[in-house]
Chains A and B, each alone.
Chain A
Amino acid sequence: MWTASAALSAPLAAVAATAPAGVVKDGDALMQLARLEDVNAIRALNQTFARLIDAGAHEEVTTLFFDPADVRIDPEVRGLAADGFGEQDAIEVAADRTTATALLHCTVHAESPIEPDCPLLEMARQQGGGVVRRVERGVFENVYVRRDGVWKIQRSLYRPA
């Protein structure tokens, strides 16, 4: 397992990206570069994930997942500030570079439906209301897979911090 929180320079990243996992050995410079490039790719994936969640573009979010059937976006999450992504995102890439995990600390704008249902709520929901809003710190626990050199999200679970 390898953890990183620093970025690579572009030329090194280009070299590393071409290094197949099967031909580099642990500790090799190329291996380290490849893993740094993995971290960079996952970090970019996370930024896109946050931006699309924040925009409510749930259809587009599915394109970031390895299997769209695995998309489970917490319906209460309406906005996402990825201010914690980067130095604190705790990305861990597996030794074989085919899977990775990350803990993404963030500020979430969430909405809970007011319950139980009643006729006034029916009207309120029709015009985008009938909810209680809250802002909370939370964590996305993401699992990633790399296929054909591309990192995708395999699972994403949100929990309040």
Chain B
Amino acid sequence: MPARYPKEQMHRIKYTKLTPEQIGGKLSATNRPASASPLSDVFAGKSLKIVLDGGPALSYRFADRTGLSLSEGDAAAVQAGYGALTLDRVALFSHLIPRTQRGYTVVIDQDSSLATVFEVWFSGSQANRDIRDEREVQRQVYYGYVEQAGKTAPTARHGITNRIEGKGFYWKQDTGIETLEHYPTVLYSNFVELTRFGGELSFCSPSDYIKISDDKYIYSRVEAEFSGTMTTYLLDLNRVEQIGMRLGFDETDALDYYMFRGHGEWLGQIAQFEQFGDVGTRIATGNRTVPAAKGTRSVYRPLRTNPAMTKAEVEAAIAQSVTVFPERSAMAGNKGPVSSLLVGKELTLRYDNGMAIQYRFDEIQKLRWRREGAGDGAWREERYESWESAPAVIMFGHLLSGAPDHDAFSIVVDFDHALVTLLHGTLGTPYMANEAAVKTVFGVVEMKGLTPPKYRRHQFTDELVGRAVTWNYALASGGMPGLTSMHLYATPHSLSWIIFQENGAGGLEWSGPASYVKIRDELYLAYWLEEACNGTLGTILINLRTMRNCGVDFNGGPKGLRLSSVGAHARHAGRFNTLKYFSPKAV
């Protein structure tokens, strides 16, 4: 079967804003979760009372392997369909409550009698005004135990953990669905839908990580800002097996509610940056006061703070403000010295798409350029900045003032090989006017004393795929990480960025399309687009010998047009062995 690529990637799909009434109607059509694997009868004929800290007591009677009755607290019993699966002595079952938009997914360790319960619901805006998408599954996690006659209640509990932070897995469900799933933070996860979306990009979702035992954990994500679907599973680290459930509405608004069993492969373990001894039993929230509303969690909702603008709005903002390499930039706190290597040079950058640009570098931050054989032949003056990341390798950037799409160039020139790579940024896409687009163009340098190669070019590379690298941009102090992120080069065509929490744990995470070009050994030119987000085009030259980057950010939005420098110190954070999953195969 040919590879399945969607018409739109996940971040471009305009998921229907389902109403509570529509959701209720769709839920009423299902009785219990589907399952490709045989359901377990571990609970058939049994009764359980689950006592929860801060939650309702749940009294279950399981008629058979598909039907149960539930009493919440002192409420009358209701009948529901359910599905259960087991992994060793740990069982996971899931059900909805008929005529409601609620349900439970329960994990019980039959040896310890400890239980973790996810209460889940749709139409969350009624209880939490921060929720604006009714299809987004909400959850409240409770910890407790199964009451046992004649036995003292256990004092131990399952709980949140960072002991699974940094791990990554390939999974293949019994449905045939394949994914890569990385757990680089304690709040978020990064996943690649190899089957559903063709494996081009990675996406990020708020996630829960709960420790059951040293080798068994619960992972749960909600695809917030996308379909709102929840995926919750129990996984065994050693056997790389999973049992779980998926609940939500897909891109056609069809209900997805099923149990699954899966097998996987170990992708590796990247670094953690918490203090030794910190095993992640609390989430560091810094100076933020966490709201007490049921189901509250940290969710990055980029389009709320960066709403789409019209072209007219963008043009009006740019008419007010154009900023080119300002003195102060939070992203450039650790940038290297501005290079003077270009000063006095005259050269032509001849690109393989036919474009040739002539340059005269008059001063350390002033250049002139003109297109060869185009227009009136007049030189145009621009402010630029440049850095020599490796000997004779220069990265520089500048705007093309007056260009209708507010074009910006990020350029890497290797004078030793007379090669150039251009990241040609423009503002505006078919989706958002305040969003950058980019094209990568290879070419050569023509300059007195240089003879460029005829066939050799810089090349796209997958050498970074799976790697994680931290970037400290500015001002780590007082135990705080300052402005520090971690890049996860999750696929050959995407990049994910993770923001560290106060205690060094990974926190919020997001991702965007990206591309990687090899300039020299351990020297890579990367870009990423913060699509359906703030619209920034980030371009960096990554030097994995000096462990520093230099680069240019290009952004157009409510504050006008901005071209600014980037500079950060790096640390290796490890690598996931994922490359083999991205090679096109015969079908």
Q: Which residue numbers of A lie inside 8 Å of B, CB to CB?
A: 56, 78, 111, 114-124, 126-135
Q: List 14 A-B contacts (CB under 8 A).
A: A114-B482, A116-B326, A117-B330, A119-B534, A120-B331, A120-B485, A121-B483, A124-B499, A127-B508, A128-B501, A129-B500, A130-B483, A131-B287, A132-B478
Given A78-B287, A120-B331, residue A132 in contact with residue B475 (CB < 8 A): yes
Given A132-B477, A134-B477, residue A126 in contact with residue B288 (CB < 8 A): yes
Neighbouring A residues of B485 by C-beta, 8 Å: 120
Q: Out of B300, B479, B502, which one reaches A128, CB within 8 Å?
A: B502
Complex Cα distance A132/B473, Å? 13
Neighbouring A residues of B328 by C-beta, 8 Å: 115-116
Q: Does B507 contact A (CB under 8 A)?
A: yes
Which 9 pairs, one residue from A and one from B, show the smallest C-beta to C-beta distance? A128-B286, A133-B478, A128-B288, A119-B534, A127-B507, A123-B499, A128-B285, A132-B475, A123-B508
Neighbouring B residues of A133 by C-beta, 8 Å: 477-480
Q: Out of B288, B481, B502, B530, which one reaches A119, CB within 8 Å?
A: B530
Given A126-B300, A127-B285, A128-B287, residue A114 in contact with residue B508 (CB < 8 A): no
The chain A residue sitting closest to B534, CB to CB, is A119
Complex Cα distance A116/B483, Å? 11
Q: What total of chain B residues lie within 8 Å of the partner, measured CB to CB?
A: 40
B333 to chain A: closest CB distance in Å?
8
Q: Does B52 contact A (CB under 8 A)?
A: no
Interface bits B266-289 vs A (CB < 8 Å: 1, else 0): 000000000000000000111111
The chain B residue sitting closest to A117, CB to CB, is B330
Q: Out of B187, B329, B507, which one reaches A118, CB within 8 Å?
A: B329
Neighbouring B residues of A123 by C-beta, 8 Å: 300, 499, 507-508, 510
Instruction: Find out whether the CB atom of A119 lies under 8 angstroms from the CB atom of B533.
Output: yes
Instruction: Find out whether the CB atom of A120 lies under 8 angstroms from the CB atom of B298.
Output: no
Q: Out of A117, A119, A124, A134, which one reaches B478, CB within 8 Å?
A: A134
The chain A residue sitting closest to B284, CB to CB, is A128
Neighbouring A residues of B481 by C-beta, 8 Å: 129
Instruction: Find out whether the CB atom of B478 lies under 8 angstroms from the CB atom of A120.
Output: no
B485 to chain A: closest CB distance in Å?
6
The chain A residue sitting closest to B331, CB to CB, is A118
A130 to chain B: closest CB distance in Å?
7
B272-313 contacts to A (CB < 8 Å): 284-289, 298, 300, 305-306
Neighbouring B residues of A130 by C-beta, 8 Å: 483
Neighbouring A residues of B502 by C-beta, 8 Å: 128-129
Complex Cα distance A40/B534, Å? 55
Q: Does B234 contact A (CB under 8 A)?
A: no
Instruction: Find out whether the CB atom of A120 lies under 8 angstroms from the CB atom of B300.
Output: no
Instruction: Find out whether the CB atom of A115 lies under 8 angstroms from the CB atom of B330.
Output: yes
Q: Does B121 contact A (CB under 8 A)?
A: no
Instruction: Find out whether the CB atom of A129 lies under 8 angstroms from the CB atom of B479.
Output: no
Interface bits B507-531 vs A (CB < 8 Å: 1, else 0): 1101000000000000000000010
A107 to chain B: closest CB distance in Å?
13
B115 to chain A: closest CB distance in Å?
29
The chain A residue sitting closest to B564, CB to CB, is A118
Complex Cα distance A111/B287, Å? 9
B533 to chain A: closest CB distance in Å?
7
Neighbouring A residues of B59 by C-beta, 8 Å: none
Given A119-B533, A129-B501, A132-B475, residue A114 in contact with residue B330 (CB < 8 A): yes
Instruction: Find out whether the CB atom of A114 lies under 8 angstroms from the CB atom of B478.
Output: no
The chain B residue sitting closest to A115, CB to CB, is B330
Complex Cα distance A131/B501, Å? 11
Max chain A Cβ within 10 angstroms of own Cβ: one of B473, B482, B497: B482
Neighbouring B residues of A134 by C-beta, 8 Å: 477-478
Instruction: Find out whether the CB atom of A129 lies under 8 angstroms from the CB atom of B480.
Output: yes
Complex Cα distance A111/B501, Å? 15
Q: Out of B187, B288, B483, which one reaches A120, CB within 8 Å?
A: B483
Instruction: Find out whether the CB atom of B286 lies under 8 angstroms from the CB atom of A127.
Output: yes
Q: Does B536 contact A (CB under 8 A)?
A: yes
Instruction: Find out whether the CB atom of A127 lies under 8 angstroms from the CB atom of B187.
Output: yes
Neighbouring B residues of A78 by C-beta, 8 Å: 287
Neighbouring B residues of A118 by C-beta, 8 Å: 329-331, 483, 553
B487-514 contacts to A (CB < 8 Å): 497, 499-502, 507-508, 510
Q: Does B474 contact A (CB under 8 A)?
A: yes
Instruction: Find out whether the CB atom of A132 lies under 8 angstroms from the CB atom of B534.
Output: no
Instruction: Find out whether the CB atom of B536 lies under 8 angstroms from the CB atom of A119.
Output: yes
Complex Cα distance A49/B516, Å? 55
Complex Cα distance A124/B477, Å? 15
Given A78-B287, A119-B533, A127-B499, residue A132 in contact with residue B482 (CB < 8 A): yes
Neighbouring A residues of B507 by C-beta, 8 Å: 123, 127, 129
Given A134-B477, A134-B478, residue A116 in contact with residue B329 (CB < 8 A): yes
Neighbouring B residues of A120 by C-beta, 8 Å: 330-331, 473, 483, 485, 497, 499
A128 to chain B: closest CB distance in Å?
2
Given A116-B328, A120-B483, A120-B499, residue A127 in contact with residue B288 (CB < 8 A): yes
Neighbouring A residues of B478 by C-beta, 8 Å: 132-135
The chain A residue sitting closest to B500, CB to CB, is A129
Complex Cα distance A119/B284, Å? 21
Max chain A Cβ within 10 angstroms of own Cβ: one of B306, B477, B500: B477
Neighbouring A residues of B326 by C-beta, 8 Å: 116
Complex Cα distance A2/B331, Å? 54
A120 to chain B: closest CB distance in Å?
6
B507 to chain A: closest CB distance in Å?
5
A106 to chain B: closest CB distance in Å?
17
Max chain B Cβ within 10 angstroms of own Cβ: one of A127, A130, A132, A133: A127
The chain A residue sitting closest to B505, CB to CB, is A127
The chain A residue sitting closest to B285, CB to CB, is A128
The chain A residue sitting closest to B476, CB to CB, is A132
Neighbouring B residues of A114 by C-beta, 8 Å: 330, 474-475, 482-483
A153 to chain B: closest CB distance in Å?
23
Complex Cα distance A103/B343, Å? 57
Complex Cα distance A56/B290, Å? 13
A160 to chain B: closest CB distance in Å?
15
Complex Cα distance A130/B500, Å? 10
Neighbouring B residues of A127 by C-beta, 8 Å: 187, 285-286, 288, 298, 499, 501, 507-508
